[in-house]
Amino acid sequence: MAGLDAASDALLAERSADGDTVAFGILVRRHGPYLRAFATRLTGSAADADDAVQEALIAAWNQLSTLEDPAKVRTWMTSIVSRKSTDRLRRRKPSSELDDQRPDTHERGPEARAIATSQLDALAGVLSALPEGQRQCWVLKEVGGYSYEEIADELDLTPAIVRGRLARARATVISEMEVWR
Amino acid sequence: MDDHLTEETPDIGGSGYTLEDLSEYLDRGRTPAIAAIDDNAECQSVLASLERVGALSRDLVAQDAALNPAIDESWLASVFSSITREAKAGRDIPLSSPDPRTRLSITEGAVRELVRAAGDAIDGVFVGRCDLDGDPTETGSGIRVGISISVVLGSAVHDVAETVRQRVYSELLTHTELTIEAVDVTVTDVHVIANGSAPE
């Protein structure tokens, strides 16, 4: 079927819901890179991201008939990816331990910021230097568009803990990114 | 000025609002408007920073995706080995058999595939959804077929829809024993590249 990749997300989602694996394959190729990028920033691990997105896509295929607005298929897939990613995060270690834990990275510090050549590089550095729990909350809120309560649900935390983590993440990100204004 | 911009900062620019308050104000779409924030230069600057780092975070993920556009084929294969058309096969539609000892049927999913193929064969058309309204499992029961299509930009929409309707109707008559009451075609989308002549 030549050219189906010119079709809209909505049409491909409708066909997929009807059982068209070709249409679903086009959706996966179209949005897979975004879903993996999102999951990688969220979990901090490309391997976890690959597994989570894979699980999410299989779940998405089986649940396509529940998608109310087929035009929003990417947003819908992203929410399934969040869930599969946070499932992995919860299994990985108790979330309460992540509060102050910083990733092992030598990219941190002023040197790393000094060699960042763009705002995006700088932000990438700041985010990956955040304690894991803070980074997860930040990505879910700012990229995933979730509310405090939804993040608390996803990560199995109290809203107060989410609030605290976001407050610390926000203070760090704002002040570290100040030089890039 | 960064030094005092921390979570411990009780309020920003003497406004009485903290960084967290400002973030929540932004999340609410700055409504209802709070004059103490809107009229405070330092608050406005912090709000702009919050908006900027939020947008940059989304840009960062988009950039990550753009820099890694390749999908690993074995990764993809493993997704596709776990999904099956059978999950969406739908109802079994009986077909008459010359041999009374043999029961033949075609799945609803296969009928949908037939409908999609019939519509897609028309230049500049992609079929979207396909519904079989009625009880196709009962021989002779009237079925209304509802399909949505996308047409290439600039098509004569009515003519195209009518061509699709006739084509789908005749394919269903040829390849199934369904009693088709009507084929309803709805144009729900427009796309920009013609499928008929596209390479690939």
- Spans of all domains in chain B: 2-67, 89-191
- At residue A180, the pLDDT reads 81
The confidence band for A22, taking pLDDT boundaries of 50, 70 and 90, is: very high
Determine the straight-line distance between the first and last CA of chain B, rounded to whole angstroms. Answer: 58
- At residue B198, the pLDDT reads 44
A79: nearest Cα among A29, A129, A42: A42
- Packing angle, helices A21-43 and A46-63, rounded to 10: 140
What superfamily in CATH does domain B89-191 come from?
Cation efflux protein, cytoplasmic domain (3.30.70.1350)
The answer to whether residue A122 scores a pLDDT higher than 80 is: yes
CATH number of this structure's domain A94-181, picked from the four choices 3.40.50.720, 1.10.10.10, 3.30.1360.200, 2.60.40.4070 = 1.10.10.10
Inter-chain CB proximity A167 and B19 less than 8 Å: yes
Query: B63 to chain A, minimum CA–CA distance in Å?
Result: 8
ipTM above 0.90, yes or no: no
Q: Nearest by CB to B68, which of A37, A57, A175?
A: A37
Average pLDDT value for chain A = 88
Distance between CA atoms of residues A156 and B127, nearest Å: 42
Residue B139 vs residue A131, higher pLDDT: A131
A132: nearest Cα among A50, A44, A47: A44
What is the Cα B123 distance to its own chain's centre?
22
pLDDT, one tens digit per residue, over B6-35 is: 545 578 999 999 999 999 999 999 999 999
Mean pLDDT by 10 residues, chain B (200 residues): 52 92 94 95 95 96 94 92 82 87 90 96 95 90 95 93 97 94 95 57
Closest Cα in chain A to B107? A19
Same fold, A8-92 and A94-181: no
Any idea where the domains of chain A sit in the sequence? 8-92, 94-181
How far, in Å, are B16, B20, B21, B67 from residue B9 at the CA level?
A: 10, 10, 11, 38
- At residue A38, the pLDDT reads 97
The encoded tokens of residue B77 equal 């294969």
Closest Cα in chain A to B119? A1
Inter-chain CB proximity B189 and A37 less than 8 Å: no
Inter-chain CB proximity B7 and A171 less than 8 Å: yes
**Chain A residues 60-89 with a CB less than 8 Å from chain B:** 61-62
Q: Nearest by CB to B150, which of A7, A37, A61?
A: A7
- CA quadruple A97, A127, A82, B51: dihedral sign: positive
Query: Counting every residue, how long is chain B?
Result: 200
Residue B165 at interface with chain A, using a CB cutoff of 8 Å: no
Inter-chain CB proximity A3 and B198 less than 8 Å: yes
CATH 1.10.1740.10 given to domain A8-92: yes
- What are the phi and psi torsion angles at B36 (to 5°)? -60, -25
The answer to whether residue A113 scores a pLDDT higher than 90 is: no
The confidence band for A117, taking pLDDT boundaries of 50, 70 and 90, is: confident
Phi-psi region of A101 (alpha: psi -120 to 50; beta: other; left: phi over 0): beta
The confidence band for A156, taking pLDDT boundaries of 50, 70 and 90, is: very high
What is the Cα A151 distance to its own chain's centre?
12
Q: Taking the model in full, what pTM does it have?
A: 0.86
Question: Residue B93's beta-bridge partner residues?
Answer: B106
How many CB pairs lie under 8 A apart between chains A and B? 170
